[in-house]
Chain A
């Protein structure tokens, strides 16, 4: 009897933990945008997801005992090209006024000089990263990953709505 109750407790604990997560599993199912601003915001988010995925692929490789250098190099190239294209992802009208759910702050458009500088910093770091990735020097690659991530963070800190804290 005691053991059964223990099992019940454990079952409920795990169950609550699992369902707690599963309940929120379908939360990104808003309607597709129809306005040009909304479409641009949506495209921007898709682009950032790809950029994030490329960066994550590199970082995941670096955790391994034998990182795949070709994969790191290929994704460093992706980071470089997406960083170069990044300024075109923010057309006027794709901010909060698009009514599409976005974390892009209005300051992107109201302070274009500061925004351009933040983007430039990413482009510089992503450009530096390419030859370093190709060199295969893991220590240098890890250091430059921090520099690229720092550029991401630098821009997010000023121009992205902070996450709930």
Chain B
């Protein structure tokens, strides 16, 4: 891959599991689609996209506890000292052999998930100005509060756009400066390592179980939290 000469031959090993990759790319597609729906005045489709994103984000949050090693928050959320220590090595031209998110990348994941979560939650309570479409929980708030949620929904999307720009800039930085391809592993799941990290992966049945749970939560929210 990178082509850097090293003493050992690189080992191609699995890094990201299927569910993590599917969630990643489905979020890209659905968030883009939801954005297009707003521009094209397709509010009904925008709501469907939002439900899809809600399901994905619920899945990803549970997967952060019950998923494969590289997908777990515990494996990549580091304290300030470790984060700072990693930040100091950023200017080095070689990427580390770390299997998974580095400490800065870990915090970027947390920030992106938080922004998407706030996007979905504000959308649930939003009321549109024509009163034709509104979030499934908008009947829990007044008209004015619902309008305020719509405003926050808009601001939250600005935050998402900023984080996406930062995300792409970081990928470009790693590609050009550190000669590390971060995109291919997120597509294929495999990456070349100097030493095989021997990561453990969650079985398929667990992903199915978590997907069913996420779908159930989403369904319940869609129905306005009614049983």
Contacts and interface: CB of A to CB of B under 8 A. Distances in A.
A52 interface: yes
A36 to B, nearest CB: 25
A66 to B, nearest CB: 13
B151 A49 contact: no
Interface residues of A: mostly helix, strand, loop or mixed?
A: helix
B113 interface: yes
Interface string B102-130: 00000000110111011001100001011
Nearest to A12: B110
Interface in B177-222: none
A17 interface: yes
A163 interface: yes
B122 A21 contact: yes
A156 B73 contact: no
A16 B127 contact: no
B58 interface: no
A92 interface: no
Contacts of B134: 56, 59
Contacts of A20: 114-115, 118, 152, 155-156, 159
B97 interface: no
Contacts of B100: none
Interface of B: 38-39, 61, 64-65, 72-75, 77-78, 110-111, 113-115, 117-118, 121-122, 127, 129-132, 134, 138-139, 142-144, 146-148, 150-152, 154-156, 159, 224
22 contacts: A2-B75, A9-B110, A10-B64, A10-B73, A13-B110, A13-B114, A16-B115, A17-B114, A17-B117, A20-B114, A20-B118, A21-B156, A25-B148, A27-B148, A52-B127, A55-B131, A56-B127, A56-B143, A60-B138, A149-B132, A150-B132, A164-B154
